[in-house]
Amino acid sequence: MQRLIICCILIHFFVSPTLSIRINAATQGTLVNVIDQGARGDGKTDDSNAILSAWQRVCGMAGPATLVIPAGKVFFVKRLELDGPCKAQSVRIQFAGKIVAPSLDAWVGDKGKWIVISNVNGLTIDAEGGNIDGNGSSWWEKCKSCQRPTSLRFHNCNGLVVNSLSMTNSAGAHISVNGCNGAIFSHMNVIAPEHSPNTDGFDIANSKFVTIQDSTIATGDDCIAINGGCSNINATRLFCGPGHGISIGSLGRGGARETVEEVYVHNCSFIGTTNGARIKTWPGGSGYARKITFDQIILKNAQNPIIIDQNYGVKQLSSSEQAVMVSEVTYRGFVGTSAKDLAILLKCSTLGCFNIVFDNVDIVSSQPGKSAYASYYNAHGSVTNTVPKISLFK
Ligand SMILES: *[C@@H]1O[C@H](CO)[C@@H](O)[C@H](O)[C@H]1NC(C)=O
Ligand SMILES: *[C@@H]1O[C@H](CO)[C@@H](O)[C@H](O)[C@H]1NC(C)=O
Ligand SMILES: *[C@@H]1O[C@H](CO)[C@@H](O)[C@H](O)[C@H]1NC(C)=O
């Protein structure tokens, strides 16, 4: 058996030496290195086409195959769209190098996206040592209010696994997940300066069974934004901050019907964030945000540790007949400090929020001598062992 494998490898080398494609006898299948497909990795030459053609080889293989983006090189990429479906049931990307984006002046085409992976099932990205740098500073300075590209978009995927990827300095959001069923992100490092505008860590929409775990997200906007059409989203063991915390929504903008349910945020820290656990909906929308749990949360100097805002996006308190219904929201095991004395704000619509549960929450002001307080409107639920004091309608 052993001999047979070695023999096959030798034959393969012989048969297709010019393709420089290698068989790895382990699990990775055929390895296709972007360097062998013409990528320079000098940080200057546009390597988009070389990476694309390497991807097309990998994606077209009937058996297991791995796209290799090697360590020690910087790949300048103007834009990249890796499309499936691929022939094999699963594909791998082994990414240990660095990919960098053009600055604003050198941008070509669509300003909403940079690297897009669409319609690929069973994709595993092993990115130990790999970094995707959005080179966003020119955008932040010169293009604050214009559309800015999300660095990495996953669109229509099933069974995505991403390990140990470092994402830095995106011009817009770092990672978006849209139309995916089953995705696990582990040991991610998502970093951009606190002042960088709208540089969300993760934007998730229209997706289910997405887990983000054991990661650090420190950016200028939401650590994770969970938008309409999401269910079974699991955020576990995350260090979040600086940034705007973990946010459900905003939902229901312009009268839209949107739904989010089964969100589980567990064992996360919010350090110096402008929000912690946040739910925001626009007046006049419909649908729901329900079955949402924030459990075992550590706060350090977070500005709005717990906030439900059903009056999002408008100045005056609205008494709209319609609202995204907020219910079954649990805050359990919070401990730490609030940067402002208003630590808990529940601004529910006049229709009310229901089954809001506070259980073992202990938030104090980080300002010496000040005490934290809670403010709440139209909120129904139960409270156990919670500081600051809050009492909800039954
Ligand atoms: C990154 O952006 C800066 C301008 O902010 C630019 O000078 C530099 O060339 C860009 N890097 C690449 C690889 O294009
Ligand atoms: C969330 O993820 C954690 C860690 O992977 C796991 O233990 C837990 O069962 C998951 N919870 C849900 C509701 O999926
Ligand atoms: C998760 O919980 C453990 C044990 O309480 C704690 O040491 C760790 O800091 C927590 N992680 C985060 C990201 O909060």
User: Tell me: the pLDDT tens digits for 232-253?
Assistant: 999 999 999 999 999 999 999 9
State pLDDT tens for residues 167-196.
999 999 999 999 999 999 999 999 999 999
Q: What is the pLDDT of residue 26?
A: 58
Q: Transcribe 241-261 into DSSP letters.
A: -SB--EEEEEE-GGG-EEEEE
What structural domains and CATH numbers belong to the chain?
231-394 (2.160.20.10)
Q: Would you state the pLDDT for residue 144?
A: 76
Report the candidate in 381, 379, 232 with the shortest Cα–Cα distance to residue 307.
Answer: 379
Average pLDDT over residues 204-222: 97
Cα–Cα distance between 67 and 291 in angstroms, integer?
39
The number of the ligand nearest the C-alpha atom of 214 reads: 3
Residue (of 130, 206, 114) closest to 162 by Cα position:
130
Q: Kindly tell me the burial class for residue 293, based on how many C-beta atoms sit within 10 Å of its own C-beta (0-12, 13-18, 19 or more).
A: middle
Half-sphere exposure of 257 (CA within 13 A, CB side): 1
Instruction: Classify 304 as helix, strand or coil.
Output: coil
**Residue 321 — very low, low, confident or very high, per pLDDT cuts 50/70/90?**
confident
Predicted local confidence at residue 10, as pLDDT: 39
CA–CA–CA angle 140, 142, 143 (5° rounding): 70
Q: Which of 174, 222, 244, 309 is catalytic?
A: 244
Radius of gyration of the chain (CA): 23
Tell me the pLDDT tens digit for each residue of 60-93. 999 999 999 999 999 999 999 999 999 999 999 9
Q: Which of 237, 265, 268 to mutate to test the pocket of ligand 3 (most atoms within 8 A of CB)?
A: 237
Give the pTM: 0.92
pLDDT at 375 over 50: yes
Ligand 3, atom 3: nearest CA belongs to which residue?
267
Asked if the model's pLDDT at residue 136 lies above 80, the reply is yes
380 is catalytic: no
pLDDT at 184: 98
Check if 195 is active-site: no
pLDDT at 391 over 80: yes
What is the average pLDDT score of the chain?
92
CA dist., res. 373 & res. 168, Å (int): 36
Kindly provide the b/e burial profile for residues 28-48, where b requires at least 16 CB atoms within 10 angstroms of the residue's own CB.
Answer: bbbbbbbbbbebbbeeeebbb
Q: Which pLDDT score is estimated for 83?
A: 98
Any residues with Cβ below 6 Å from ligand 2, and which? 211, 213, 234, 236, 264
- Structure confidence by residue, pLDDT tens digits, 345-356: 999 999 999 999
Mean pLDDT over 51-59 rounds to: 97
| pLDDT tens profile 13-35 | 433 434 455 655 556 789 999 99
Give the tens place of pLDDT for each residue, 271-317.
999 989 999 999 999 999 999 999 999 999 999 999 999 999 887 76
Residue pair 362/393 in contact (Cβ under 8 Å)? The answer is no
